[in-house]
Amino acid sequence: MFDAWEMELHGHTVVYRVMGSGPPVVLIHGMVNSSRHWRAVAERLADRYTVIAPDMVGHGDSATPRGDYSLGAHATVIRDLLSALGIERATFVGHSLGGGVAMVFFWQFPERVERLALVSSGGLGEEVSPLLRSAAVPGFRHLIGLVANRVVIRALRAAGKQARNVARALQPLDTRGARDAFVQTLRAVIDVHGQRVSADDRLYLLEDTPLLIAWGERDRTIPIEHGSAAHEAVPGSRFVTLPRAAHFPHLEDPDGLAAALGDFIETTEPGDLDEARWRDRLRGRSPARLRPRAAARSRSAGSWPKMLV
């Protein structure tokens, strides 16, 4: 069973689901999703791995406080949850917004990441669907409050398949707290021009960590070209496309996604980035950053720290 548990962290309830046994795999959901949406993938991995899927704060059954909904804040809560559960290192899988959170988790806590898998991930390019860009327009919070209510959702469920899909998307936003959290989370990463957070300048840091990029070939929310470009930027990474999936491979093709994840984990050795290797990676790509700026060269040699070690 993909049982739900809850924990109080920093005075707020954080819900998570656990299944299976073996090396830990953390599944991070996307926007307007929750840990529930990982069930089909978790069931296919649970015979070999301990699968942990948190509801990010503001999503699913976790608390919806007024607060920080940035990628870094989400990553820190996941770190604290794993620490409380006694999980020091894991393979991290992030879908859409969750991909951005997983990457920021890696930037912040690289020593805790054995492998990284990005599924139709955000944070790899500016382009995004017009619907998501429109959600960043002032007044959207009020509009979604009008349509994401129980009466409208019940009516949509009684209509055709396409309407039921809309109802499924609106269901998590039927409370004011959830709507506020959704808008704050979205505006932390998207504006009217598209995605405003990009990992492009830091992808080189992933070269020592096993990386899988998986994408639905029918994705119209985030272009598949973002995934192929990231794959080209990270030597040794894997790029898998799923013909039957659009933007939600874990729902549209859980067999294909779980097979790709299982093969990736089974055929790669865990990354092991300690502080020294992290420092070497930073210096190896950007040696100029170790030199003083021209405007500061008038400082005396004794006052300028030549090496911060």
Count the neighbouring beta carbons within 10 Å of the beta carbon of residue 176.
12
Is 35 annotated as catalytic? no
Residue 53's nearest CA partner among 80, 73, 24 is 24
Question: CA–CA separation, 92 vs 197, rounded Å?
Answer: 20
Beta strands 211-216 and 50-54 are unpaired
Among 34, 35, 62, 96, the one annotated catalytic: 96
Q: Where are the beta strands (DSSP E) in 136-210?
A: 190-191, 194-195
Is 96 annotated as catalytic? yes
- φ, ψ for residue 197, nearest 5 deg: -120, 130
Is 274 annotated as catalytic? no
Question: CA–CA separation, 101 vs 95, rounded Å?
Answer: 9
Tally helices (H) and strands (E) across the chain.
12, 10
Among 219, 237, 250, 253, the one annotated catalytic: 219
Q: In sequence order, what are the residues at sequence separation of 6 or more whose Cβ sits closer than 8 angstroms to the Cβ of residue 101?
A: 28, 56, 71, 74, 75, 78, 94
Residue 101's nearest CA partner among 82, 78, 83, 80 is 78
Q: Contact at 8 Å (CB) between 220 and 131? A: no
- The β-bridge partners of 19 are 51
Among 29, 231, 247, 250, the one annotated catalytic: 247
Q: Where are the alpha helices (DSSP H) in 173-223?
A: 176-189
Q: Contact at 8 Å (CB) between 102 and 116? A: yes
CA 4 to chain centre: 20
Question: CA–CA separation, 18 vs 54, rounded Å?
Answer: 9
With H, G, I as helix, E, B as strand and everything else as coil, classify residue 306.
Answer: coil
Q: Which residues are catalytic?
A: 96, 219, 247
